[in-house]
């Protein structure tokens, strides 16, 4: 009995119409898959080769004896990690970059938001002002470093800042090479601010423009009398997402600072000497470790440690600003 019905239903499933439908469906699925990968394939391949593989290889390097070679032959356990963590220069570079980030993130927020608000207030010339604040983007960190190092903050009286100090009878300050007080902080922070404030100002401007005027109307009805209250109770809260984005981008960028340190503090005798020992961020340390000393293992180990620290700080910042990503 059962065998007869089994055969019968099997026959039904094997009917030509449903077979064709199933085939068509499979063909469609396959074609879609091929189409999808024809569009997305190059990107996926690229990420695999240039992000995926490096991450894995980096792990391998960090656990191997990769000195002057990129193909380590021995597994050395945690010794690279221990070596980099016990190097006082690495440790101080981590502290330095953390301080740098703590200084620059709030300053960038303040300036870019401040500029966005100010420009929003005026009636005429908004475009002009926004252009002026944004055009430093056309300069690279190298160009800005050259200007800052050679002319603006030159340590002799031929420098711009020292000339201004001279008007007030103050002796020239060695902005870049003095270790006490550490004026180079001013130099390095202002480079980054000049270059990036305009960009973030635009983000805040967009955020500001997204606030519908009715909200301000409602605020006025509810008793908000002046600009400061408006700022505090309406504008800033509504800009929260933008603020979070800006601080996150700024933080991650600050931790990976390299260009301005390398160029402002660098000297002809190589990137490990001179003023760079005053303020060496992790990326400069890792660069030296990998490309001067050619120790790719320690360099990779240090890089992973830096990444972990970045993630921790980013999460901390998330907690502080109460973000929901």
Partner 1 sequence: MKLTKKVQCAALAVLLGLSGGALSGCGSSSSSDGRIEVAQWYHDYGEDGTKEAVKKYAEEFNNSQDKIHVTVTVVSGDYASKLNAALLAGNGPDVFESEPSGEHILAGHVAPVDDLFGDALSDFNQNNIQAVTYKDKIYGVPMTDGDGLLYYRKSMLQAAGVTPPTTLDELIAASKKLTTGKVKGLFLGNSGCTQDHIPQLAVWSAGNEIIDSDGNVKFNNDRTVKAFNKMTQLCTSGSLLQGASTDWYDATAFTSGQTAMQWAGQWSLPSVQEALGDDFGVVPWPALDDQGQPATWYGGWYSQVNAASKNIKAAKQFVKWLWVDNKDAQKEWSTKFGATAPVRQSIIDDTPALNKEPASVFMEAIKKYGHLSGGVYWSTSSMTALSTALGNVVNKGADAKTEIEKAATTIANNIEKTKAEAKVK
Partner 2 sequence: MKNRHRISASRVVRQTLIYLLLIILAIIFLVPFYVMLRNALSTKAEVTSLDWVWFPKELQWQNFAEVFEDGSIFPQGLLNSAVISVIQIVLQLAISAAAGYGLARVPYRRRNLVFAAFLATMMVPTAVTFVPSFAVVSALGWVSTLAGIIVPGIFSVFSVFLFRQFFLDFPDELEEAGRLDGLGPWGVFFRIVLPNAKGITVALGAIGFINSWNAFLWPLVVGQDEHSWTVQVALSSYLNSYSVDFPVLFAAAVTSIIPLVILFFIFQRHIVEGVKMSGMK
What residues numbered 92-131 form the site for partner 2, per CB under 8 A? 115, 118-119, 121-123, 125, 128-131
Structural contact between residues 115 and 197, judged by C-beta atoms closer than 8 angstroms:
yes
Angstrom CA distances, 78 to 32, 297, 319, stand at: 46, 10, 31
Angstrom CA distances, 246 to 97, 239, 260, stand at: 18, 11, 20
Among positive and negative, which fits the CA dihedral 60, 66, 71, 77? negative
Question: What residues contact residue 144 under an 8 Å CB cut-off, 6+ apart?
Answer: 136, 191, 194, 195, 260
Q: Which does 118 bind (CB under 5 to 8 A by kind): partner 1, partner 2, none?
A: partner 2
Question: What residues contact residue 219 under an 8 Å CB cut-off, 6+ apart?
Answer: 230, 233, 234
The answer to whether 274 contacts partner 1 (rule: CB under 8 A) is yes
Distance separating the N- and C-terminal Cα atoms of the chain: 62
The answer to whether 287 contacts partner 2 (rule: CB under 8 A) is yes
CB of 91 to partner 1, least distance (A): 20
Q: Contact letters (x/-) for partner 2, 28-67, by CB under 8 A?
A: ----xx-xxxxxx-xxx-xx-xxxxxxx-xx--x------
Query: Of these, 7, 15, 131, 158, which contacts partner 1 (CB under 8 A)?
Result: 158
How far is residue 315's CA from residue 307's CA, in Å, rounded to a whole number? 12
Nearest to 172 by CA among 161, 183, 181, 180: 161
The answer to whether 174 contacts partner 1 (rule: CB under 8 A) is yes
Count of residues in contact with partner 2, rule CB under 8 A: 93
207-266 binders of partner 2 (CB under 8 A): 207, 242, 245, 252, 255-256, 258-259, 262-263, 266
Query: Of these, 65, 98, 136, 219, which contacts partner 2 (CB under 8 A)?
Result: 136
The answer to whether 133 contacts partner 2 (rule: CB under 8 A) is yes
Query: Of these, 154, 242, 243, 317, which contacts partner 1 (CB under 8 A)?
Result: 154
Count of residues in contact with partner 1, rule CB under 8 A: 34
The answer to whether 152 contacts partner 2 (rule: CB under 8 A) is yes
Instruction: Give the nearer residue to partner 1 in terms of CB position, either 2 or 269.
Output: 269
Structural contact between residues 294 and 103, judged by C-beta atoms closer than 8 angstroms:
no
37-76 binders of partner 1 (CB under 8 A): 38, 41-42, 67-69
Nearest to 176 by CA among 199, 192, 161, 155: 155
Instruction: Give the nearer residue to partner 2 in terms of CB position, either 6 or 21.
Output: 21
Sites of contact with partner 1 (CB under 8 A): 34-35, 38, 41-42, 67-69, 149-150, 154-158, 166, 172-178, 267-272, 274-275, 292-294
């Amino acid at each position: 009995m059962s065998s007869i019905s089994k055969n019968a239903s099997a026959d039904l499933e094997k009917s030509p119409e449903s077979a064709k439908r199933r085939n068509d469906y499979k063909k469609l699925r396959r074609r879609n898959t091929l189409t999808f990968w024809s569009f997305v394939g190059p990107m996926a391949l690229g990420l695999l080769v240039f992000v995926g593989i490096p991450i894995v290889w980096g792990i391998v390097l960090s656990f191997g004896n990769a000195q002057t070679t990129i193909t380590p032959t021995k597994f050395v356990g945690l010794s690279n990690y221990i070596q980099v963590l016990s190097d006082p220069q690495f440790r101080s570079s981590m502290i330095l970059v953390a301080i740098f980030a703590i200084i620059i993130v709030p300053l960038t927020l303040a300036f870019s938001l401040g500029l966005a608000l100010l420009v929003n207030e005026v009636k005429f010339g908004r475009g002009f002002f926004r252009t002026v604040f944004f055009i430093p983007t056309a300069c690279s960190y190298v160009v800005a470093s050259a200007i800052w190092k050679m002319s603006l903050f030159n340590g002799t009286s031929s420098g711009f800042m020292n000339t201004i100090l001279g008007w007030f009878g103050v002796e020239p300050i060695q902005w870049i090479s003095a270790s006490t007080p550490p004026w180079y902080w001013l130099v390095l922070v202002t480079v980054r601010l000049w270059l990036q404030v305009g960009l973030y100002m635009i983000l805040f401007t967009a955020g500001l423009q997204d606030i519908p005027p009715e909200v301000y109307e409602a605020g006025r009805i509810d008793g908000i009398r002046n600009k400061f209250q408006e700022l505090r109770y309406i504008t800033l809260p509504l800009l929260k997402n933008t603020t979070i984005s800006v601080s996150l981008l700024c933080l991650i960028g600050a931790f990976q600072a390299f260009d301005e340190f390398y160029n402002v503090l660098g000297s002809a005798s190589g990137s490990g000497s001179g003023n760079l020992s005053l303020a060496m961020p992790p990326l400069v340390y890792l660069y030296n470790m990998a490309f001067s000393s050619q120790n790719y293992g320690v360099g990779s180990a240090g890089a992973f440690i830096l990444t972990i620290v970045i993630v921790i700080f980013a999460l901390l910042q998330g907690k502080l600003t109460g973000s929901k990503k």
